Structure 1
Amino acid sequence: MTGVRDLKYRQWFRGADVDGDGVITRQDVRLMGERYIAARGAASGSATAHRLTEGLDAFWASVIEPMDSDGDGKVDLREMTEGFQRALADPARYPQQVGPVADCYFDLIDLDGDNRVDQAEFGEIFGLAGNVSLEDSAAVFEALDQDGSGGLDRAEFHRALAEFFYGDDPDAPATHLFGRIPG
């Protein structure tokens, strides 16, 4: 595990600890999804919202809950960092571990259904729901839009999340996806 990945995971933890009590619970994971659904104005009973809830439940069960080393139903920063070190060690497992939830988020972000996320959509979801400053969000988007098309397609979105969770390069475009990490 590199120091960069540890910093990224800490940043992700801050966003995932929705209620700010210093631990991640199943409720935090669900609230994270609800926060994104609300930011997009999607109906909580919509197909995308339902898929996101199911995907987050699976993400909790397969990735987060196994990190709960003391069995108290809560994952603190130490447990999460150690758990991510174990669970997210192999980028080849991205399609099973992160991919399904990433697809749900992409569908939620792509509100107009054009199969691309433009800068406004990206800024809204990461800025409003993800607690990332609009300036940081714009800078990350620009770096991720490597072809300069003005939008991220599903493949570019997946590459960004894979780089965030599995990558070690402090200068990679996705390093600050969930907020600026200390440099």
Structure 2
Amino acid sequence: MAESRTPAVVPEIARNQEIDATRHPADTALLFRRSAARSPRSSICWNGTSVATERDRSETEMSREKALPSMISDFLDRKLAKRFQAYDVDGNGVIERRDFALAVERMGDAFGRKPDDPELQRVAELNFALWDRLVAQCDANNDGKVSEAEFKEASLSGSLETVDSFEEDYIPLIDAALDIADADRDGKLTATEFTLWAASLLNHSQPEIDEIIRRLDHDDDGLIARDVIFASIREYFFNDSPDSAGSWVVDPSPDR
């Protein structure tokens, strides 16, 4: 499958995160666990053969991880809930493959693209690939659906979104979707283009979109640069601060 990348859209901000002592304690623990999740080790049995790859942690640490969802900050819990809602397009309380099909269908309708449009098909291909990864990582009971609890648990474990998976799964999808939204390919979206894009793919309401535009239109020219959108979404995945730009993309309510 061909990969469409946007060259050097934003600086790397996730590989060497500093731990801020002012964070909520559970959020700080989450950053440590995310770092550990990116450093697997191979366990060796008595005859020297590799039998498994696992994170180096004790049973006590694993018990703490299972308890973590009840300990995380209200903001991080709300952030994950909002992300879940973005995936749950039909609003039935679970994420299914149908939701990913609906998102593509809604985007096609919003921008006047037919199902056989090559650019829309590219978005569909990448979106279903994201679903395959999501269900593989989150569907603990193998029912072909992802509950909010399953989604949050996988997100908090650090296994759902990593720097590599963001580059491989999300960047091409966002890029392909923005190709459809950015009609004149000038690298910027008008307020109308961004509204159609955010409503169809992020599942945001109009008041939420208006707040995002207000926050991301840095020079008040009515346009939002694609690199600003990329940077904001990257910040969402890898910066847990309520003041980060990414937080406004996924949780734009003024009273948050």
TM-score clears 0.5: yes
* TM-score category of the 2 structures, normalised to the smaller one: 0.7 to 0.9
- What residue is the counterpart of 2:170 in the other structure? 98
Structure 1 residue 91: Cα displacement: 3.6
Structure 1 residues 90 and 65: alpha-carbon distance in aligned structure 2, compared to 1, 3 A threshold = closer
Residue 57, structure 1, aligned to residue 128, structure 2: yes
Pick aligned residue for 2:190 from 118, 121, 127: 118
Are 2:250 and 1:167 aligned?
no
Match of 1:68 in 2: 139
Residues in 2 aligned to 1:94 and 1:41: alpha-carbon distance in whole angstroms? 28
Q: Which has the higher helix share?
A: 1
Question: Which range is displaced more, 16-25 or 171-180?
Answer: 171-180
Tell me how far apart the structure 1 counterparts of residues 154 and 121 of structure 2 sit (CA, whole Å).
Answer: 27
Say if 1:22 and 1:76, in contact at 8 Å, map to a contact too: yes
Give the whole-Å Cα distance in 1 for the aligned partners of 2:234 and 2:189: 17
Separation in 2 of the partners of 1:148 and 1:93?
33
Q: 1:33 aligned to 2:104? A: yes
Structure 1 residue 15: deviation in Å?
2.8
8 Å contact 2:104–2:201 — kept in the other structure?
no
Q: Given that residues 37 and 44 in structure 1 are in contact (C-alpha distance below 8 angstroms), is that contact kept between their aligned partners in structure 2?
A: yes
Asked if 1:176 is matched to 2:248, the reply is: yes
Give aligned pairs, total: 183
Percent pairwise identity: 27
Q: 1:64 to 1:9 in 2, by over 3 A?
A: farther
Q: 2:229 aligns with which of 157, 162, 176?
A: 157
- TM-score, with normalisation over the residues of structure 2? 0.63
Deviation, structure 1 residue 49: 0.6
Give the aligned partner of residue 44 of structure 1.
115
SS of the aligned residue for 2:189 comes to strand
Higher RCO, 1 vs 2 (CA within 8 Å, ≥6 residues apart) = 1
Deviates more, 1:131-140 or 1:24-33: 131-140
Aligned to 2:42: none
Q: Give the Cα–Cα distance (whole angstroms) in 2 for the partners of residues 129 and 72 of structure 1.
A: 24
- 2:22 matched residue in structure 1: none
| SS of alignment partner, residue 232 of structure 2 | helix
Call closer, same or farther: CA 1:22–1:82 in 2, change over 3 Å: same
Shift, 1:19, TM fit = 2.3
2: CA distance, partners of 1:32 / 1:124? 12
- Deviations 1:106-134 (Å, cap 9, x if unpaired)? 11221333321122211232246644233
Structure number with larger C-alpha Rg: 2
Displacement of 1:23 in angstroms is: 0.8
Shift of 1:72: 0.6
**Alignment match, 2:77:** 6
Output the TM-score relative to the length of structure 1. 0.85
